[in-house]
Each structure stands twice: as C-alpha cells, then as structure tokens.
Chain A
Amino acid sequence: MSPTFVSIAYLVAAVLFILGIKNLTKPRTAVKGNQLSSIAMLIAVVVTLLDQQILGYSWIIVGMLIGGFIGAYLARTVQMTSMPEMVAALNGFGGGASLFVALANVFDPSMADNSVAQLSIGITVLIGSVTLSGSFVAFGKLKELLSGNPIKVPGNTILNGALVVAGLLLILANTMSPGGGWIFLLVVVAIALGLVLVLPIGGADMPVVIALLNSYSGIAAATAGFISGNTVLIISGSLVGASGLILTQIMCKAMNRSLPNVLFGVMAEGG
C-alpha cells in the first residue's frame, strides 16, 4: 500500500481518536466514544499491517495472537472491584511495549547515524521504563502484594534527582555515541526511577498515580513515533499524554488533593 494512503488512513484514525476522547467525557456518549476510539485503533493497525515496510508476518501474527489472548482473558476474568489495578497493569504493559519498540530500533542499522532517532530512542526508553516499573508498583500496592502504606526510600529526594540526572546524561551519551551500551544502563536507571517514584506514595492515592502514569505511557508512544516519523503515534500519544495530565489534575481536585501533595506528600511529612 502506498505511503500516501497509509498517511491518509492515519489521519482518519487520529480524527476518530479525538472524537472518541471527546465523547468519553460525557456520560451519554461515553460508550460511543469508546467505540470510535476502538475503530480508530483498528484502522491504524490494519493499515500498518499493509505497509510496504513489512517484509514478514510470522512474528507479528504470533505476537498479536498471544497478546490478544492474554488481554481478552485478563479483561474477562477481572473482578469489577479490581479495575484500578487492572488498568495499572495494562498501563505497565503499554509502557513496556514502547520500551521494546525503542530497544528494537537500537538494533536497526539504518538508525545508527540518525541523531533525532537516537534522541527519541533515549527519551522513549526513559519514559517507557518509568511507566513499566511505576505501574507495576501501583498494581502491587492495589493488589496488596506490597504494603499500601507509603514505603520510605532513604534519601528519596536526592535519589530521585540523581536518577533523573543520570537518565538525562545517558540519553545525551547515547545520542552522541550510539551503540555504546548506554541505552541498557538507561533501562536500569529508569526502572529504578519508576520504583522510587511510586513506592513512597500511599495506596489511597494510587488512582491519581495511575492516571499520571497513563499520561506518561502516552508520551512514550508519542516519542516512539519520533523514532521513525510516524504521525499516528505522535498524535494519539500526545493526545493521551496531555489529556491524561488534565485528568490527573481533575482527579486530584475531586479528592481534595494537589498533585505535588500526592507526589511529594510523604517526603514533606518525613521532613
């Protein structure tokens, strides 16, 4: 299928995603909104499958069958009361997916000399890994596998700051000299960052944290779009990123909390 047709189909998908989100904000149209958004996803996926860049289908088909089966099984068996942790887990998978998309591109020889692609790979790895580990900590807390109480990490503020700085330096190092193993160090640093960000937050605040991590996974999808210049990834990812952040704020307000209060409340209490 020609690149022009793919781009037009991506545009249609993007419009349907926008209408879908719009409809999801009102009780009367919410069901329709979810349907529009799922049609958009179907269009984007089918058109991508017909893309000329794809040379082999075996990995794709097997992967989609495995993922589809697991996703459908989880969605059908989960208890209604366990929905927040289900969303947390699904969000973790989404972040992990963006992480693996970025890692796959690390090994694509055509990306080696492209500094925009390398920068995008670095940022996607950072945000994707934080989403992955952060979401599963949130899942563990809601599932009571981990204590719902705030778990204090010694020197949390300094540790967070150090990990963020280390992450940014590793992104820079990978962009300047790709293929130096920086990216794998970045995965480790970013996974640790996701853990120390969410561990100190109490179980009662987890819905807000999941909403925030959902926003992150959107941004990770958008930055993954910058690796190879994919418009539908950039548009839908940034839509989720921005709307997720606003939703996070709204949820905070509904709970009479402020976002900094949720994120840093424990540290303030701990003095």
Chain B
Amino acid sequence: MDLLLLITIFVVALFLGVELITKVPPTLHTPLMSASNAISGITLVGAILAAGSGAGVLVNILGFLAVILATINVVGGYLVTNRMLAMFKRK
C-alpha cells in the first residue's frame, strides 16, 4: 500500500489515541494499562503472517516464536484484565 497513506493512518491514529484518554479514575489506571497491553498483542497478526509464510523455514521459526510470545500477551492480557474488572465490579 502507498506509504504516504500508511503514514497518514499512523498519525491520525496517534492523535485519536491521545484524545481517547481524557479523565480516567485512579481505580481504572491498572485495568486500562492491562487492557491496552493486551491490545498491543495485536502484533500476533504479524507473527501469524510470518509463521505461515512461504518465505523460508527461518522466517517460519522466528514467526513461530513470535506467535508464542504474542499469544501469551493476548490471552494472558485479556484474562488478567477481566479478573481485575470483576473484582472492581464487586465493590
């Protein structure tokens, strides 16, 4: 895809990210951090494409390691956030 278009998406998303977070009550600081940590596990998409590509065994193996690490991040991240928020709701 056109590089300029990708840079446009990148910059707009950065500004959107800044605007999304305005006032956050302190009790939500850790859950929000944990939730956005899970989102950064989106790199799993890149990992899957590398692990399944036809570009050679070395690419696949490094992609495989990336898949393991990213899946730990994603699965662990969402479950941990869920546990935190469940405790939060009880109060």
Interface of A with B (CB < 8 Å)? 17-18, 20-22, 24-27, 30-31, 33-34, 37-38, 40-41, 44-45, 48-49, 51, 53-57, 59-60, 62-64, 66-68, 70-72, 74-76, 78, 80, 83-84, 86-87, 90-91, 93-94, 96-101, 103-105, 107-110, 116, 207, 210-211, 214, 217-218, 220-222, 224-247, 250-251, 254
Measured between alpha carbons, how far is A104 from B79 in the docked complex, in Å?
28
Residues of B within 8 A of A74 (CB): 72, 76
Given contacts A59-B64, A107-B58, contact A30 B70 (CB under 8 A): no
Q: How far is it, in angstroms, between the C-alpha of A26 and the C-alpha of B32 when the chains are bound?
A: 10
Counting chain B residues whose Cβ lies within 8 A of the other chain, the interface size class is: 35 or more
- Are A243 and B18 interface neighbours, CB within 8 A? yes
Chain B: residues with CB nearer than 8 A to chain A?
1, 3, 6, 9-10, 13-18, 20-56, 58-89
Cβ-defined partner of A107 (8 Å) among B17, B29, B55: B55
Contact (A109, B33) CB under 8 Å given A80-B87, A100-B66, A230-B46? no
CB neighbours of A87 from chain B (8 A): 30, 33-34, 37, 77, 80
Asked if B17 and A242 sit within 8 Å, CB to CB, the answer is yes
Partner of B52, one of A57, A94, A244: A57
B80 A75 Cβ-Cβ under 8 A: yes
Residues of A within 8 A of B53 (CB): 53-55, 108
Q: A44-B45, A235-B13 are in contact. Are A67 and B67 (CB under 8 A)?
A: yes
B46 close to A228 (CB less than 8 A): yes
Contact of A220 among B3, B43, B74 (CB under 8 A): B43
> Contact between B43 and A22 (Cβ–Cβ < 8 Å)?
no
- Shortest Cβ gap from B5 to chain A (Å): 9
Smallest Cβ-Cβ distance to B63: which chain A residue: A104
Q: How far is the CB of A200 from chain B (nearest CB, A)?
A: 22
Residues from chain A with a CB closer than 8 A to the CB of B56 are 107-109
Q: Check A30 against B37 for contact (C-beta < 8 Å).
A: no
List the B side residues contacting A217 at CB < 8 Å: 37, 40
